[in-house]
Chains A and B, each alone.
Chain A
Amino acid sequence: MTDRRPHPRAAGAPMLAAEDLAKHFDVSRPLLQRVLAGEARRTLKAVDGVSFDIPKGTTLSLVGESGCGKSTVARLVVGLYRPSRGRVLFDGMDLETARSDAAQRRRMQMIFQDPYASLNPRWRVRDIIAEPVRAFGLVEGGAAQRERVAELLMQVGLSPLDGEKYPHEFSGGQRQRISIARALSSNPEFLVCDEPTSALDVSVQAQILNLMKDLQARLGLTYLFISHNLAVVRQVSDRIGVMYLGRLVELAPAETLFIAPRHPYTRALMEAIPDLEMTGRQRIPVGGEVPSPINPPSGCPFHPRCPLANARCKAEMPALLPPRGQPDTIVACHAVEEERDGVVPGTTVPPLPAAATGV
């Protein structure tokens, strides 16, 4: 449907590659009601053609508003969902092949958002952490397993004695540490973190992020990090992908994205970050709401809210292309491609013009 040119590959073989990944959900009403009301089937395109790769030992973050499909991407890359289109390559292997082999499955793990729902309330912490160890038969014998659990608990900053307790005896931050210990127990190389800090207090967020960075440095982990919090993402990422309505609109190295955001949506997000030095500055909000992914707008999905939109944006879907002077970045925007976005490479990105759009 759209022209998808190969985007610049980062150095090193990728741990994970997503190629034109899509996930469509059938959200039609039950058959009988649909027939009676004379409705057609309705599909929600949660993710619609996302490609990226994550070099080993690095962190790729996906950011975007609620409902942009970032969590769906997380579930697709660990095989919890089957893609409607496209494929995932795990260390060069097709994901489905890799997941049917326990030795490969062991290498990927996931950390979840809600520390209150991600631990089985009826299980002791030691059993929760040991589950992957037992499932993959990594350590034989009860004593050795207990030792491994104790080691993992210490690795995430908890006491080995905590293994005897139940999840409800811990705070949110401690529970997230337990989740991390469980994820690490199968010696994974690739971790998908679906908003691992968004349910935590700010002070605890920093602790968990530091723990995750430590572990990455120590164990050489590769992360796919999902978040809606740009400050958190800036702290952990090597590269950042910005998603809008099931698509990537910009993918750039972390610092580049913060210094020189190019897509109008990314620029709007950056302007929305609270900033002490700029207190009192007039903010230009992004007008309107995220359109429904069941009935997405024609052309560029961002055009109804974009101050730079013109007739081409309404008709034609932009492809991800590197803008002039920023070879590491790819942006899906006609305005950037046509260089009418008001950004001069090498200078500070100016604020977006006031939205002349409304809803």
Chain B
Amino acid sequence: MAAGVLARAFDSDLWWSFKRSPVTVVSAIVALVCILGAVLAPWIAPHNPFDLASLNLGDAFKPPAWAEEGELLYPLGSDDQGRDVLSAIMYGARVSLLVGVAAVLFSTFVGVAIGLLAGYVGGTLDSLLMRIADIQLTFPSILIALLVDGVVRAALPREVHDQIALFVVIFAIGISAWPQFARTVRGSTLVERNKEYVLAARVIGISQIRIMLTHVLPNVVGPVLVIATLNLGFAILAEATLSFLGVGVPPTQPSLGTLIRIGNDFLFSGEWWITIFPGLALIAMVLSVNLLGDWLRDALNPRLR
């Protein structure tokens, strides 16, 4: 069974178009390296930057291995606490990726649910939901995320907030991106709901919710995959921005954005590696994911084939 699915995947038009695009192949490899590095960090990272016992302040501010005074033990150098930059990046990418994926899943779920409901039910509910989406779209999404994060921060006592900070960031970023999903899904739902296969299901008395989930939903989720991929890049970037501004994930769980902010303080004193390498990792991750999303959009668009 699994072999059959794999064989079909390698035989598909998608695989063919993938092979023909070198940019996409390279992006896929870069993305894969980033994801593997992040996911497997606890097992493959040279150091554990959170293990305070293993930190040695004497090893602080080591330059990258290839520079003078560099040590092979710290391939990309070390920071002010004597933490290995490479290990910190791997652990940081883990947080960035977790927040990014979770935020995208959240906004996909909310957006698809609202879009499906608005498109299928129509009428006043549709107008109401879409006006809310329009209003939200007039604000930059990073502003929405900042607002949500700020409100929660002010509303909750500090110790409670530290515990749920990660979820707050996920919620803040996720909620700022749902209108895109909702609009796309609503558009395709409007087309699908009047198709005759939906009428055929209504004639035999299938419930509206069941029709929405089993008939309409499978026919409108195609474009969602593309938006979700493109949004993953945005979500990772948004998290980095929030963390850079110091309102994102808690400092006990530094993400790439936190690392960049910490390193930023040393940029002008010559320890450039502390901020540049996390920055490069962020660029590599977001760019490769976005390029993959672009390719997916074109590959799934029948008019561009």
Give the interface of A toward B (CB within 8 A). Answer: 75, 78-80, 99, 102, 105-106, 108-110, 112-114, 117-122, 128, 131-132, 135-136, 179, 182, 186
Partner of A120, one of B203, B205, B215: B215
Interchain CB contact under 8 A, A80 and B202: yes
Does B51 reach chain A (CB closer than 8 Å)? no
Interchain CB contact under 8 A, B196 and A122: no
Q: Give every chain B residue within 8 A of A119 (Cβ-Cβ).
A: 197
Partner of A136, one of B195, B196, B203, B204: B204
Interchain CB contact under 8 A, A117 and B196: yes
Partner of A135, one of B199, B205, B218, B219: B205
Partner of A117, one of B195, B201, B204: B195
A51 and B230 alpha carbons, distance in the complex (Å): 56
B193-231 contact mask (Cβ, 8 Å, vs A): 1 or 0: 001110111111110000000010011000000000000
A135 and B203 alpha carbons, distance in the complex (Å): 11
Residue in B closest to A75 when the chains form the complex, CB atoms: B199
Give, as a whole number of angstroms, the nearest-CB distance from B97 to chain A. 31
Interchain CB contact under 8 A, B196 and A99: no
Give, as a whole number of angstroms, the nearest-CB distance from A33 to chain B. 14
The size bracket of the interface on B is 10 to 19
Interchain CB contact under 8 A, B196 and A113: yes
B25-46 contact mask (Cβ, 8 Å, vs A): 1 or 0: 0000000000000000000000
Partner of A182, one of B199, B200, B215, B218: B200
A119 and B200 alpha carbons, distance in the complex (Å): 9
Q: List 5 A-B contacts (CB under 8 A).
A: A109-B204, A110-B200, A112-B199, A119-B197, A122-B219
Given contacts A120-B219, A121-B219, contact A110 B199 (CB under 8 A): yes
Partner of A131, one of B195, B196, B206: B206
CB proximity to A under 8 Å, residues B179-197: 195-197
Interchain CB contact under 8 A, B218 and A132: no
Residue in A closest to B206 when the chains form the complex, CB atoms: A135
Q: Give every chain B residue within 8 A of A108 (Cβ-Cβ).
A: 203
Residue in A closest to B195 when the chains form the complex, CB atoms: A117
A76 and B148 alpha carbons, distance in the complex (Å): 49
Give, as a whole number of angstroms, the nearest-CB distance from B37 to chain A. 36
Given contacts A120-B215, A122-B218, contact A105 B196 (CB under 8 A): no
Q: Give every chain B residue within 8 A of A112 (Cβ-Cβ).
A: 196, 199-200
Residue in A closest to B216 when the chains form the complex, CB atoms: A120
A162 and B159 alpha carbons, distance in the complex (Å): 62
Q: Which of A99, A120, A132 has the most B CB atoms < 10 Å from its CB?
A: A120
Residue in A closest to B215 when the chains form the complex, CB atoms: A120
Given contacts A80-B199, A112-B199, A117-B195, contact A186 B219 (CB under 8 A): no
List the 3 closest pairs (A to B, CB-CB), nearest first: A118-B196, A112-B196, A122-B218
Give, as a whole number of angstroms, the nearest-CB distance from A99 to chain B. 7
Q: Give every chain B residue within 8 A of A122 (Cβ-Cβ).
A: 218-219
Q: Give every chain A residue within 8 A of B199 (Cβ-Cβ).
A: 75, 80, 110, 112, 118
Partner of B204, one of A114, A118, A132: A132
Give, as a whole number of angstroms, the nearest-CB distance from A130 to chain B. 12
Interchain CB contact under 8 A, B205 and A114: no
Known: A105-B204, A118-B195, A120-B215. 4 other contacts (CB 8 A): A119-B197, A122-B219, A128-B197, A131-B204
Q: Give every chain B residue within 8 A of A99 (Cβ-Cβ).
A: 205
Q: Which of B197, B202, B204, B215 has the most A CB atoms < 10 Å from its CB?
A: B204
Residue in B closest to A179 when the chains form the complex, CB atoms: B200
Residue in B closest to A106 when the chains form the complex, CB atoms: B204
Give, as a whole number of angstroms, the nearest-CB distance from A107 to chain B. 11
Q: Give every chain B residue within 8 A of A75 (Cβ-Cβ).
A: 199
Give, as a whole number of angstroms, the nearest-CB distance from B276 to chain A. 47
A179 and B200 alpha carbons, distance in the complex (Å): 9
Q: Give every chain A residue within 8 A of B203 (Cβ-Cβ).
A: 78-80, 108-110
Q: Give every chain B residue within 8 A of A131 (Cβ-Cβ).
A: 201, 204, 206
Give, as a whole number of angstroms, the nearest-CB distance from A316 to chain B. 38
Q: Give every chain B residue within 8 A of A135 (Cβ-Cβ).
A: 204-206
Q: Give every chain B residue within 8 A of A179 (Cβ-Cβ).
A: 200
Residue in B closest to A120 when the chains form the complex, CB atoms: B197
Q: Give every chain B residue within 8 A of A114 (Cβ-Cβ).
A: 196
Q: Give every chain A residue within 8 A of B195 (Cβ-Cβ).
A: 117-118
Partner of B205, one of A105, A128, A182: A105
Interchain CB contact under 8 A, A117 and B197: yes
Residue in B closest to A30 when the chains form the complex, CB atoms: B127
